[in-house]
A and B are shown apart, each in its own frame.
Chain A
Amino acid sequence: DSGVTQTPKHLITATGQRVTLRCSPRSGDLSVYWYQQSLDQGLQFLIHYYNGEERAKGNILERFSAQQFPDLHSELNLSSLELGDSALYFCASSTSWGIGEKLFFGSGTQLSVL
């Protein structure tokens, strides 16, 4: 168990809908990362938050947004969902942000858009 909690584990929704994925990092971890894992694209970095502030953006669509709250949990919001958004979404956390940083991944949220 990595200590990173993601909810829900599975999510089935329809095209055009909006969903929110939630991540609780390990106790004390200030950094939260979101990754998307799909069969054709592999693991893709989406966004990184550190202590409530956005630090880096990767291949995140404009329809997607994220935030990290004062209690350090994070939410990834996906809107106007398309079939291609079906994927496994991972959250990862780390204690610090710097050299030798070690990421701890949650078990992911499997999103199916029908």
Chain B
Amino acid sequence: QQQVKQSPQSLIVQKGGISIINCAYENTAFDYFPWYQQFPGKGPALLIAIRPDVSEKKEGRFTISFNKSAKQFSLHIMDSQPGDSATYFCAASRDGTASKLTFGTGTRLQVTL
């Protein structure tokens, strides 16, 4: 049973555009929702994370929007740059910790010039 569904599988955005990646979860016990960025040949790196007590969190060009009632959260990358081209994973876990993170299937983002 896939507990975190991520879409789209791949995304092509022009430089300067907005990239939007969506995730939906099933387990209402999840209370920690991080996003990870992975470049080829590297391990995932934490990008930004949110707890369900807020509906939005912004760090630079990256924003997480969280909808608790719909059990959905999304990553918005404003002013997308070629250097943002990577695979992005959403994840979720219980107890606000990184233990036993359940990852989405990933979105391969390509930002073109």
Contact = CB atoms under 8 A, between A and B. Distances in A.
Given A42-B103, A42-B104, A42-B105, A100 B96 contact: yes
Interface in B86-105: 89, 91, 95-105
B43 interface: yes
Instruction: Tell me whether chain B's interface is mostly helix, strand or loop, or mixed.
Output: loop
A64 interface: no
Given A4-B43, A90-B43, A107-B42, A58 B106 contact: no
A25 interface: no
Interface residues of A, number: 26
A98 B97 contact: yes
A56 B100 contact: yes
B-side interface size class: 20 to 34
B2 to A, nearest CB: 9
Interface in A1-55: 2, 4, 33, 42-45, 48, 55
A48 to B, nearest CB: 5
B72 to A, nearest CB: 19
Interface string A97-109: 1111111111110
Contacts of B54: none
A94 B95 CA distance: 16
Interface of B: 32, 41-46, 49, 89, 91, 95-106
Q: Shortest 9 CB-CB distances between A and B: which pairs?
A: A105-B43, A99-B96, A43-B103, A101-B98, A42-B105, A103-B98, A101-B97, A56-B99, A105-B44
